[in-house]
Amino acid sequence: MDIEILGKEVRFLVPMLRNSDRQLHAISQWEWVENEMYAEFPNGWQQREVERTDTTVRGTVRGGWFDKDNNENVPDDSVEFVVALPPDQMTTVYALFEEICERFDQKCLYFTIGGDAALYHPTKERDRETGPGPA
């Protein structure tokens, strides 16, 4: 058995609507985030499966936050991203958060830092063309 420790698991939410006018972000914004994730985190990342059209989004995380500036609760549907980061790369994700807040017109982003993330590598080789083999 071979276990590869990747670092701490970081989960963050990107709201579907801009703060200023509560309108959906352009598809190009989401493509930008995905491109940044590939560039900054080549060891891998995940995104909750979402289906986007011009008028709807399915597969999002429902939540909300309190806007102190306007003294109101703000409901939000968000897309969740997950990445594993070594401790010395936390500034990379914080820089990404800064850019997301600017590009997506957000006052804040919700994120969590969890336990250790790892990959399990099996010790037995198998033929990937025919499947896992006998049970």
Segment holding 124, helix H or strand E: none
Q: What is the DSSP string of 61-82?
A: EEEEEEETTTTEEEEEEEEEEE
Cβ atoms of 97 and 90 within 8 Å: the answer is no
Asked if residue 131 is part of any domain, the answer here is: no
Instruction: Give the total number of structural domains in the chain.
Output: 1
Burial of 19 (0-12, 13-18, 19+ CB in 10 A): middle
Q: What is the pLDDT of residue 129?
A: 57
Residue 121 has pLDDT above 90, yes or no: no
Find where tokens 């059209």 sit.
Answer: 53
Amino acid at 49: E
Amino acid at 115: G
For the chain, what percent of residues have pLDDT higher than 90? 24
Q: Is 94 helix (H, G, I), strand (E, B) or coil?
A: helix
Asked if residue 81 is part of any domain, the answer here is: yes
Least confidently predicted of 30-34, 67-71, 115-119 = 115-119
pTM score, whole prediction: 0.77
Asked if residue 100 is part of any domain, the answer here is: yes
Asked if residue 128 is part of any domain, the answer here is: no
Q: What is the CATH number of the domain that holds 98?
A: 3.30.70.120
Model confidence pLDDT, tens digit, residues 38-82: 888 877 677 766 676 665 556 678 888 888 888 998 888 898 888
Asked if residue 132 is part of any domain, the answer here is: no
Distance CA 61, CA 77 (A): 5
Asked if residue 135 is part of any domain, the answer here is: no
Residue 101 has pLDDT above 90, yes or no: yes
Asked if residue 109 is part of any domain, the answer here is: yes
Q: Tell me the residue range of the domain where 45 lies.
A: 2-121
Asked if residue 87 is part of any domain, the answer here is: yes
